Structure 1
Amino acid sequence: MKNWLNIVVEFFKVLLIFVICTLFFYFGLRFMHEEYDQFHRYDKPKGNAVKVSDVEDGNWLDRLSIFFRLGE
């Protein structure tokens, strides 16, 4: 009988630790989502921004091959 009680107590200890860790992970993800939800990544850049690429009037097959080669 005492062995059975030990198993139940250990089960509830593990369950409690699992629930606490799950809640910590869940609220951590919610906090990170709240932080980055206000971050506007499509705003115009501030400062001395330089355009990196220029779209040329090239062949669309060349653009497609670059896309597949570089994985852009």
Structure 2
Amino acid sequence: MKSWLKLVFQTVKVFILFTGCTILFYYGIMWINQEYQNYHRYDEPKGAAVKVSGYESGKDASWLDRLKLFYLNGE
């Protein structure tokens, strides 16, 4: 009887720890989502931004070249 009660107590402790960590993780994700909700990554840069890359004006890129560029740069 005593070992059964000890087993139940250990199980309840693990359940409470798991529930607490899950709630902490959930509210952490919600906080991060709230922080970045109004962050616009793809807006035009403000200030004296300089474009650092672009296509060559005289060269017509084929779809295969564009696909290779996409896989290379991820854009």
Q: TM-score when scaled to structure 2?
A: 0.79
**In percent, how many aligned pairs have the same letter?**
48
**Shift in alpha-carbon separation, 1:44–1:71, aligned structure 2, 3 A:** closer
Segment drifting more, 55-64 vs 7-16: 55-64
Partner deviation per Cα, 1:30-59 (whole Å, 9 max, x = no partner): 000000001111222112111122233423
Aligned partner of 2:70 among 57, 67, 71:
67
Asked if 1:46 corresponds to 2:46, the answer is: yes
Q: Which residue of 1 aligns with 2:37?
A: 37
Tell me how far apart the structure 2 counterparts of residues 38 and 67 of structure 1 sit (CA, whole Å). Answer: 27
Tell me how far apart the structure 2 counterparts of residues 17 and 62 of structure 1 sit (CA, whole Å). Answer: 53
For structure 2, the residue ranges without an aligned partner over 5 or more in a row are none
Aligned partner of 2:60 among 58, 61, 64:
58
* Count of residues paired in the alignment: 71
Q: TM-score when scaled to structure 1?
A: 0.81
Segment drifting more, 58-67 vs 15-24: 58-67
CA-atom RMSD, angstroms? Answer: 1.7
Tell me how far apart the structure 1 counterparts of residues 12 and 73 of structure 2 sit (CA, whole Å). Answer: 49
Q: Which residue of 2 aligns with 1:23?
A: 23
